[in-house]
Amino acid sequence: MGKIGENDLLQSELAVLRARTALDAANLDYDRALAAFRLAVNLPAGADVRIVVTSDLPRMHIDTAMAVQQALRNSSAIAGLELQDVQARRAVTEARLSTGVGATLQASFGFNASGSGPTAAYSNLLQAQQLSLGVQVPLIQWGAHSDDIQAAQADQARIAATSRVSREQTIQNARFAALQVTLAASNLAVSAKADTVASKRFAVAYQRYVIGKIGVDNLYIAQSDKDQALQQYVLALRGYWSAYYVLRQLTLYDFAEDRPIRR
């Protein structure tokens, strides 16, 4: 049976205290995240929520070209910019078709009569009829028509530039999001393998410590490596799902089911 000295015993006690502190902090973070989750999905404060962590990943091949295609097809921002571009081209056409020469016709009709009493005032209304016509025609426009066309063309150019930048940004975001999912899947596979190896190494180290082949320091190292490997695996799993749902959000496409996401 392995033996432990006073120094090793104190080291063990210190490790236990540190582990308890880390556990308390982790529990607090978990409670905070759980409360935020209940608030986000509109659950009561005391509702029971069970978080199930699965290592089963959907089998899918994410093609960057397809991700870009779906992002351009389903993006509401792209659709909005396309509508603005149509409206801007229409404004330019209307400005060009407008001759710039216009006239305003005004007409008024009424009665104007007076008398010593109501009866006298409303008698002989046919003779009190009045009709007036007015026409306003601008004689000189000083290039106002040309200015209207230039303003419409400038607005069209601005919208076209904004649309081009937004389109390129959408393409870039979708492409790198797809690449990030592929990279996250690779990292997760490596982390899973490392976690398995570290767990086996700790099991071997523990058995060797029990029979007195190694000291407690080597056992601590094996345990620390095992814990770190598990943490890295959990982080890699989180990174994968985060990357996958970012891609879904950008493309509005379910790559696991190979179909668009309908809202």
Instruction: Tell me the per-residue pLDDT of 34-80, one tens digit each, with 9 for 90 and over.
Output: 999 999 989 998 888 887 777 778 888 889 999 999 998 887 777 67
User: Are the C-beta atoms of 71 and 149 separated by less than 8 Å?
Assistant: no
Q: How far apart are the first and last CA of the chain?
A: 64
Residues 77 and 207 in one domain: yes
At residue 107 the predicted structure's pLDDT band, cuts being 50, 70 and 90, is low
Q: Which domain holds residue 128?
A: 103-136
User: Are the C-beta atoms of 64 and 183 separated by less than 8 Å?
Assistant: no
Distance CA 262, CA 80 (A): 19
| Tens digits of residue pLDDT in 10-22 | 878 888 899 899 9
Residues 70 and 185 in one domain: yes
Residues 6+ apart with CB under 8 A from 146: none
What does the mean pLDDT of the chain come to? 80
**Inside any domain, residue 144:** no
Tally the domains of the chain. 3
pTM equals 0.68
| Tens digits of residue pLDDT in 133-183 | 666 655 555 555 577 777 777 877 777 777 788 888 889 999 999 999 999
Residues 86 and 112 in one domain: no
